[in-house]
Amino acid sequence: MVLEETDTPFKDVEYGSFFSFRPQKRRVTYHLDEQVGNYHYGDKHPMKPHRITIANHLVMGYGLHNKMDVYSPRKATFNEMASFHREDYLDFLQRVTPDDAETYADTFQNFNIGADCPIFDGVYEFSQRSAGASLDASRKLTQGQTDIAINWSGGLHHAKRAEASGFCYVNDIVLAILNMLRYFPRVLYIDIDIHHGDGVQQAFYESDRVLTVSFHKYNGDFFPATGNFDENGIKGGKYFAMNIPLDDGIGDDQYTSLYKSIIEPTINTFQPSAIVLQCGADSLGYDRLGVFNLSIRAHGECVKFTKSFNIPMLVVGGGGYTLRNVARAWCYETSICVDESVPSQLPKDTSYYEFFSPDYTLHPKLITKIENKNSPKMLEDLRIRALEQLRYLGSAPSVQMQQIPPDLTGHLDEEDECLNDEFLDKVLDVRVNG
């Protein structure tokens, strides 16, 4: 079912339109499809797209929308999504509805449809909106129109070429990276969701143009049961997949220290021309499906550190199942992207203020009673193994811009030209009072 549209200052902006606020030294764009938060997986399902709407209200409550350019993206087309996904899978998503789901029941297993990935009203449109915003963000980066592009409705990193997985149906990240590879020689993908970024890793497992780095819980059982250190790529992509498998209960200092000690040499070695950062908020303490002890500040510190390298960056959402903390984290990380310090006391003029009771703060205490099973030696061993893997990247061949990872294709040149013409023809001084 589709929930009622929430009233916001952006509600009258037409799709595909652009509205500008005052410029900043670091150009930041915010890619906001206002209807993406109105879809509903089901009453008992942990994935709640409405968290995006709540996050947007916090962003606006703090006035952060005045610090960046806000775009209302169009939905991704069938052909755009088919640049990665198999057409019969997309055709299935486009046709099936809850009312006629029984008609397609024989194909559910083929596409991994079930309790985790149910058929809900508007599942195809929801996927179009999420993917469309990430594609829009990638276009702004490749056209040099922004330094940081944010899409909190993106980050659906589990979706595979022909199957849904882990609440994800269309992999907006893969689609965005494919578009970026048309212009950027190398893309670094970083994932701080508590679950392994398996769908993105799988898509680029044979490519040396995309280095995937995933920090996640791993014990061989925890979903998706992949992401051990020895998964490091094959063929031309050997050593271009890096996994940092962690155990329960890791806290702020350990996590941020390990993150920085691995990401800095990774960037220096791989020398990406663009970064995609997946900010799944289920790695926070007290997440409904998580087992880490990270605070919102520590989660945001990963964004701040990655941003400090001044490399074009796409920032997307991902997991996160304690809604109020997801909204807090993504609002705080938006403030980091626009270099704006915000008070911990939440703005009272947001529609969701009471949702954050009893503390009404951006930074609640999120330390749980989950035991920290990550010993200093274990984390040091992970760091050393990561640095050893990076040694193999030094001899990686220089890439040719026309090379695309095996079995993957970019967007049509003709469509790219049309999109560029559309942009040039637009009137860019439309303003909205936020």
Question: Does 381 show up as a binding residue in the annotation?
Answer: no
Q: Mean pLDDT lowest for which of 75-79, 127-131, 337-341, 423-427?
A: 423-427
Name the band, by pLDDT with cuts 50, 70 and 90, for residue 294. Answer: very high
For 18-420, CATH number out of 3.40.800.20, 3.40.718.10, 3.40.50.10860, 3.90.1330.10 equals: 3.40.800.20
Lowest mean pLDDT among 56-60, 165-169, 363-367, 426-430: 426-430
Tell me: is residue 216 an annotated ligand-binding position.
Answer: no
Of residues 144, 186, 184, the one with CA closest to residue 420: 144
**CA gap 142, 145 in Å, rounded:** 8
| Cα–Cα distance, 294 to 262 (Å, whole number) | 18
Please give the average per-residue pLDDT across 288-292, as a whole number: 97
* Helix residue ranges, H only, 204-319: 252-270, 296-307
pLDDT of residue 367: 81
Residue 321 marked ligand-binding = yes
DSSP state of 101: G
Using CB atoms within 10 Å of the CB of residue 353, give its burial: 0 to 12 exposed, 13 to 18 middle, 19+ buried: middle
**Residues annotated as catalytic (active site), given as ranges:** 158
CB-CB neighbours of 230 under 10 Å: 7
Q: What DSSP state is assigned to residue 312?
A: -
- Predicted confidence (pLDDT) at residue 348 exceeds the cutoff of 60: yes
186 in Cβ contact with 87 (< 8 Å)? no
pLDDT tens per residue, range 66-94: 999 999 999 999 999 999 999 999 999 99
pTM of the entire structure?
Answer: 0.88
The pLDDT of residue 401 is above 60: no
Instruction: Give dist(CA 49, CA 317) in Å, integer.
Output: 11
- 218 assigned to a ligand binding site: no
Distance CA(343)–CA(360), nearest Å, equals: 11
Two tokens, residue 265: 């040499």
Q: Which of 20-34, 66-80, 255-269, 306-320 has the lowest mean pLDDT?
A: 20-34
C-beta of residue 247 within 8 angstroms of C-beta of residue 374: yes
**What is the per-residue pLDDT for 368?**
85
pLDDT band at residue 404, thresholds of 50, 70 and 90?
A: low
Per-residue pLDDT at 3: 43
Quickly tell me which residue has 């809900």 as its tokens.
120
User: Is the pLDDT assigned to residue 417 strictly greater than 50?
Assistant: no
Quickly list H helices, 44-197: 50-61, 78-81, 87-95, 105-108, 123-142, 172-180
117-127: average pLDDT: 98
- Domain coordinates in residue numbering, the chain: 18-420
Sign of CA dihedral 374, 379, 381, 387: positive
DSSP-assigned states of every residue in 334-374: HHHHTT----SBPPTTSTTGGGGTTT-BSS-----S-----
Q: Is 46 helix (H, G, I), strand (E, B) or coil?
A: coil
Question: At residue 307, does pLDDT exceed 80?
Answer: yes
220-236 pLDDT, tens digit per residue, is 999 999 999 999 999 99
pLDDT cut 90: percent of the chain above it: 83
The pLDDT, as a whole number, for residue 364 is: 96
Place of tokens 């049309």: 418
Greatest Cα pair distance in the chain = 58
105 pLDDT above the threshold of 60: yes
Confidence of residue 267 (pLDDT cuts 50, 70, 90): very high
| Residues 315, 279: Cα–Cα separation, whole Å | 7
Q: Residue 403: which pLDDT band, with cuts at 50, 70 and 90? A: low
Dig out the tokens for 202 from the structure: 């799988």
The tens digit of pLDDT for each residue in 238-261 reads 999 999 999 999 999 999 999 999
- 392 labeled binding residue: no
- With contact defined as beta carbons under 8 Å apart, do 156 and 171 qualify? yes
Distance CA 72, CA 422 (A): 14
Q: 426 or 295: which carries more pLDDT confidence? A: 295
The mean pLDDT value for 36-45 works out to 97
Per-residue confidence (pLDDT) for residue 426, from 0 to 100: 38
Going by pLDDT thresholds of 50, 70 and 90, the confidence category of residue 366 is very high
The residues facing 244 across adjacent strands are 215
The chain-wide mean pLDDT, for the chain, equals 89
Q: Does residue 5 have a pLDDT over 50?
A: no
CA nearest neighbour of 113 among 131, 126, 133, 97: 97
What secondary structure does DSSP assign to 147-167, as a single string? SEEEETT---TT-BTTB-BTT
Amino acid identity of residue 72, one-letter, is S
Q: What is the pLDDT of residues 419-434, one digit of tens each?
A: 444 433 433 333 333 3
Crossing angle for the helix pair 376-391 and 252-270, nearest 10 degrees? 10
Write out the DSSP string of 165-187. BTTBSS-HHHHHHHHHTTT-S-E
253 labeled part of a ligand binding site: no
